Structure 1
Amino acid sequence: MTALEHLEARIADLEATVESQQTQIENLQSDLQTEREARKAADQRVDSLQSTCEKQSALLEALRKRTKTTQSQLAELQTRELEKGAHLEYEHVTPTRDQLDLPENRLERFKDDEGTQWVRLPDHEDPLERSGTTPLATADLLPIQQLARMDDQLLTTATNRRADYLAAKAWAERGKHDCSTLWSLGCNTVSEYVDASDVRIWIKSTHERSDETLSYDHAKKLAGQTLERIRELANDRVYIEKRTHRKDGLEYKERRLVLPSDSDIPGTATTDTDTPGTTDLPG
């Protein structure tokens, strides 16, 4: 092969290479254009999604605020209904129970005969009987509990001693703890307690008959009898002890009726931290 032929062959190879590379460049340019269009579409999609997320976030925040307000309003209504003695279904109260404004957070949970779980304030019977009957029958209650559930007329008929009547009324005051109530909230091993002097004042202020004027000694005697009858009618689930007090530099002893924390009172109320299935009723 002459030098000219060799040169022509070399030129032909280079032309073929250039043509092949040109084809590759065109293909790459086409792919690049496709990628650019895809990138542009993706950017538009991202912008659209971001705009949607911002709108949904705003709606979600508004919904959270509305839900919080609604739950607060619902909790207020539920609190009022519970204070009136209503029995509410447990699953309806669960979402708002942390917002319920209840004394000492005392909320009692129990089941009816059909297995439905209800909540109520301790010692509150539902006037509409929406929760039906409960598994704890009257016969299962202590005598003091049975008397405490009676209305005034029935209680007067059922008791032939004034101390029994006063004992039932005093027991019904349990669960109310403030500066003006009869029972005081205990701690550690003591659930509640009441002093004889408080019972004396309570009898004098709320249970003095219209046709009598109770003397200090008579009211004190009734208070002592009332404490004894509570202990007896509670089947010794409570006990009486003497406490030493000091007043105006003087020391004196006073009787105190104590309800232990571990006392087996049928249907003792607890705060609503029980596991599902408990059948607590008011004591």
Structure 2
Amino acid sequence: MSDADLTSVVDTLDDADAPVAELLDHVQALTERIEDLEQTVAAKDDRIDDLQQRVDAVEERVDETENEIENTEAHRKALARKTDARDDRIEELQARELEKGAHLLAENVGGYHRRQRLNLTTVVSSGWT
């Protein structure tokens, strides 16, 4: 109850001529106001509960997404390691073939040392050893 409401109640009580009906009306108005405020608080509590549930659901989804990202990143790294290992094996096989004097097609020679191998292929195919 606010100070203004208390003041009006005190003023009403101080007025000896105030009929009881006015006092009852005032109490009824205050009671209705309290009921309205209680309904408002209950509605806001429900809204807070709903929002908290949504926040919890979003946080759970964020956790799931983070786990998926970590798993995907681990999978990507594993694939990169496999790819690197395969590239290394291919480069080694190509180097062995070049050492044997084999002729490799330029479009089939890949990897980090492609330019070097192309130069070696040119030397080997032209007969310079």
> Would the TM-score normalized by the shorter structure come out above 0.5?
yes
Partners of 2:106 and 2:118 within 8 A in 1 = no
Output the amino acid matched with 1:60.
R
C-alpha displacement at 1:8, in angstroms?
A: 2.2
- Structure whose residues are more often strand by fraction: 1
User: Structure 1 residue runs of 4+, over 6 Å off?
Assistant: none
Residue 65 (str. 1) matches residue 96 (str. 2) = no
Bigger-Rg structure (1/2): 2
Match of 2:69 among 38, 41, 53: 53
RMSD between aligned residues? 2.8
* Structure-to-structure mapping, 1:94-173, within 5 angstroms: 94=110, 96=111, 98-99=112-113, 105=116, 107-108=118-119, 121-125=121-125, 173=128
**Within the alignment, does 1:93 sit opposite 2:106 as a pair?**
no
The match for 1:33 is: 49
Report the equivalent of 1:267: none
Listed one character per residue, the Cα deviations across residues 29-72 of structure 1 (whole Å, up to 9, x for unaligned) are 11111112112222222222222222222222221111111111
Structure 1: which amino acid aligns with 2:61?
R
2: CA distance, partners of 1:78 / 1:24? 79
CA contact (8 A) 1:107 1:122 kept: yes
Structure 1 unaligned blocks of 5 or more: 109-119, 126-148, 150-171, 177-283
TM superposition score normalised by structure 1? 0.34
Report the AA paired with residue 30 of structure 1: D
User: Sequence identity of aligned pairs in percent?
Assistant: 21
User: Structure 1 residues 12 and 33 mapped into 2: Cα distance closer, same or farther (>3 Å)?
Assistant: same
Alpha carbons 2:103, 2:124 under 8 Å: kept: yes
* 1:22 aligned partner: 38
- Say whether the 8 Å CA contact 1:82–1:121 is kept in structure 2: yes
Give the residue type in structure 1 aligned to 2:74: A
Cα drift, residue 12 of structure 1: 2.1
Aligned to 1:42: 58
Q: How many residues align?
A: 112
CA distance in 1, matches of 2:105, 2:62: 48
Structure 2 CA distance for partners of 1:23 and 1:79, relative to 1, 3 Å: same
